[in-house]
Amino acid sequence: MKKIKFFIFLLALSSCNKYLGTVDPDYVPKNETTEIFSDLKIDNYISDIEFGDIIFPKVVDPSLNINNLEIEKIINIDKNSVINFVKDKIFVSKDKTVYLIDKNNQIKLEFNLDLNKDEEIINIFEFDENNYILTNKSRIFFIDGQNTVQVSNYDIFINTNLIVSDKNLILLSVFGDIYDVKMKDFSISKKDNFSIKSGISIKSNIFEDNTNLYILFNAGTLLTFDKNNFDYYSNFILEDLNILTSLERFTELIDTPFSHNEYLYFLDRSGKIAVYNPVSSDILWELDINDKILSYLFSTNGYLILMTSNEILILSNKGNIINSYLHNKESPKNIFNIQENIYLISEEGISKLNLKDKREDSFYKNKFTSNLEIYFQEQNIYLKDDKSLFLIK
């Protein structure tokens, strides 16, 4: 009898697919799968890739063509220096001084500002063919010929990321308040406020789609504005993504998410990437390369080019790695693209990489420090680090 009962027990056990127990009535299946680099789907490597025009993080003129790179130092600056290009002029700040440099890269004028001890220049901008200087205490100075004149003092500590339009300045206070400055008469009004999430301070870009402007307050706080009237939307796009993603949370974005084909591309410094539609809440694809992302490029053909500490990765518009390059450069800082060629900037200089043959075509020696920024101006490229502004020609 005992043998019969034991046999019946074995039959019951096999019919349960080896699962014993109950499922709680409020149980919700949870997808905890995280893609890792070794498990990523990698297409057959494509050596000859036509990227198309680079459009993010900065638009690169397709006609830009530099055959023999020459690196020329224009001016000594500091890590907080601000650069702005206005027609054939360059405005450069250093401490409490703004320099006007002409198209021949010669210093023409110096403007010395009477700033407080904790006050810094954070933006130089043009409005109605006039040039203005903005500080982190929301003071605005008008550049009048060879002099500067203060035109406003709102006495509000503001974030370095702000929106400059043809009529307004949208200022973000360090406490999460949003202010609208009418440039016609410099009147100011409080528009709204937002909740500040934890995140490091970064200098990010402002990107847009058909209806919205996107800007980062810090690496963990994404803000959305109507691109026509600059109304603030409390739509929690980043928070929603963090609920829906199968990856770990996106907490340190390397830049403002950019829009392509109705999807926003989120790049986290830790190596996580998500292509997300905030309207439909659809994630087109996502992956984790399990390596810190240091720099990126994105093209009209949908290629995402990533630089890590030891590798360049080329991703298709489906999130598959289609090419890679081990660069083996110490202290890599940034990458840029000129007519299908990838250039890598490291502490020692600039390398031109040949992804087709997996080799370095040429190397241009120069010392660069941290916080490297790239500016494209007509047929020239400018590089700014913590100590100098360089011209690449």
Strand, helix or coil at 262? coil
List of residues 6+ apart from 316 with CB closer than 8 A: 43, 302, 303, 322
d(CA 390, CA 119): 26
Per-residue pLDDT of the chain (393 residues; tens, 9 = 90+): 434 444 434 334 343 433 323 223 332 333 333 332 333 444 455 656 788 899 999 999 988 888 788 999 999 999 999 999 988 899 999 999 999 999 888 999 999 999 998 999 999 999 988 999 999 999 999 999 999 999 999 999 999 999 999 889 999 999 999 999 999 999 999 999 999 999 999 999 999 999 999 999 999 999 999 999 999 999 999 999 999 999 999 999 999 999 999 999 999 999 999 999 999 999 999 999 999 999 999 999 999 999 999 999 999 999 999 999 999 899 999 999 998 889 999 999 999 998 878 889 899 999 999 999 999 988 889 999 999 999 998
Q: Estimate to the nearest angstrom the gap between the alpha carbon of 138 and the chain centroid.
A: 24
Could you tell me the CATH superfamily of domain 36-392? YVTN repeat-like/Quinoprotein amine dehydrogenase (2.130.10.10)
Six-digit token pair at 156?
Answer: 């509000």
Query: Biggest alpha carbon distance in the chain?
Result: 108
C-alpha distance from residue 266 to each of 11, 113, 184 (Å)? 51, 39, 36
DSSP string, 131-186: EEEEETT-EEEEEETTEEEEEEE----B-S--EE-SSEEEEEBTTSEEEEEETTTT
Six-digit token pair at 11?
Answer: 């039959």
d(CA 215, CA 172): 10
DSSP string, 98-133: EEEE-TTS-EEEEEE----TT--EEEEEEETTEEEE
The reported pTM is 0.86
Is there a contact between 146 and 154 (Cβ–Cβ < 8 Å)? no
* Overall size of the chain counted in residues: 393
**167, 163, 245, 169: which is closest to 207 by C-alpha?**
163
Element (H, E) at 187: strand 187-193
The phi, psi pair for 242, rounded to 5°, reads -65, -20
- CA atoms in the 13 A half-sphere facing the CB of 181: 24
d(CA 162, CA 155): 16
The pLDDT of residue 46 is 60
Beta strands across the sheet bearing 212-218: 207-208, 212-218, 221-226, 232-233
**165, 234, 162: which is closest to 197 by C-alpha?**
234
Six-digit token pair at 379?
Answer: 């047929």
List of residues 6+ apart from 228 with CB closer than 8 A: none
The pLDDT of residue 10 is 39
Torsion angle of alpha carbons 222, 223, 226, 228, nearest 10°?
Answer: -100
